[in-house]
Amino acid sequence: MKKAAALHLITEQLTLLSDSARLRLLRLLEREELSVGELARIVQLPQSTVSRQLKQLADGGFVISRSEGTSTLYRLVMDDLDGDQRTLWGVVRERLAATDSGTELAEDLRRLQGVLADRKIDTKSFFGKVAGEWDAVRNELFGDRVTVLALLSLLPAEWTVADLGCGTGNAAELLAPIVRKVIAVDQSGPMLTAAAKRMEHFTNVQFLQGELEKLPIPTGTVDAAVCVLVLHHLESPQNAINEMARILRPGGVAMVVDMVEHDRAAYRHSMGHRWMGFGVPELLRMFEHAGLADTRLLTLPSASDAKGPGLFACTGRKAEKPATAATRSSRS
């Protein structure tokens, strides 16, 4: 009888761990104590669904809960699990860790960081409350782009910047007031028309139609080249990065912003994506192959309510011209 009961219990535990949503919740709750609302934002499921899954996990002994104010917080504590549960979860967790890269679980962890950042702003401590209120006041008074626009002023005013795959001009519109000239390139005529209308009050923006793998820009004529959320659409990302390097002046900077590796295959059909994001080694190799040095790749923090994959920003610099014999002689 005891043997049958034990077998039934193990079967129930295996059933609990057979659902991908519950696995995602457990992996998050082992890392942080979270509320239903926070979990719903991270896994992007309705709160009712998350509540139902949490009840099953709590009934099965995998998570514990406590009340704080009007919220209920949940947590998986490894030491609180019984022996069989601890062993079973340890095996499952190890298998999940082996398949993290580019998966839904990895995206959950990026959104978790966004939730934790929001929690710091929402804290009831005096400083947290003041900071949160000040952010709201500042946005109301000056808009939510003031910090980005101010930071852009760090760019040298004499620069020429190429916005490659400019679309409707989101990046070009930010750059135009800051630098001497913006060259906006896109293969789509309608996109360029929309961008030109958007920036009709600027006189320093040049619009060119062309492919990113064969840019209509002379060699060595721009100080910076940016490519924002375009690379994953291209047949040959390497050729596009080679072209970015070609058009840069010595010392010029290339920047690519795009998606990290993900598993959302539906994007291929719904939005015409050719590549399901890019891995760090892959991007660094492409920059190196194009002759770009001082390469740096940063994973960008995800907003807690963002529905897309995580993003990165990768930059590289074109080498300065080597000193000529005459130059070396004059320095000696």
Residue 92: which CATH number?
A: 1.10.10.10
pLDDT in tens, the chain (332 residues): 455 555 566 777 788 888 888 888 998 998 899 999 999 999 999 999 999 999 998 998 888 998 877 788 999 888 888 878 888 888 888 877 776 655 777 788 888 988 888 776 554 444 444 444 556 666 676 676 677 778 888 899 999 999 999 999 999 999 999 999 999 999 999 999 999 999 999 999 999 999 999 999 999 999 999 999 999 999 999 999 999 999 999 999 999 999 998 888 888 878 888 899 999 899 999 999 999 999 999 988 877 677 888 899 999 999 987 544 444 344 33
- Say if residue 272 is in the same domain as residue 174: yes
Six token digits for residue 332? 């000696």
- Using a 10 angstrom Cβ sphere, with 0-12 exposed, 13-18 middle and 19 or more buried, the burial of residue 37 is middle
β-pair partners for 311: 259, 300
Closest CA to 171 of 190, 156, 186: 186
- Say if residue 58 is in the same domain as residue 163: no
Q: Is the dihedral of CA 84, 88, 90, 91 positive or negative?
A: positive
- Say if residue 164 is in the same domain as residue 294: yes
- Say if residue 70 is in the same domain as residue 200: no
245-283: pLDDT as tens digits = 999 999 999 999 999 988 888 888 788 888 999 998 999
pTM for this prediction: 0.63
Q: How many domains does the chain have?
A: 2
DSSP state letter for 78? G
| CATH code: domain of residue 176 | 3.40.50.150
Q: Which domain holds residue 173?
A: 157-321
Closest CA to 30 of 72, 102, 70, 90: 90
- Using a 10 angstrom Cβ sphere, with 0-12 exposed, 13-18 middle and 19 or more buried, the burial of residue 124 is exposed
- Say if residue 92 is in the same domain as residue 173: no
Last residue of a domain, one of 102, 130, 165: 102
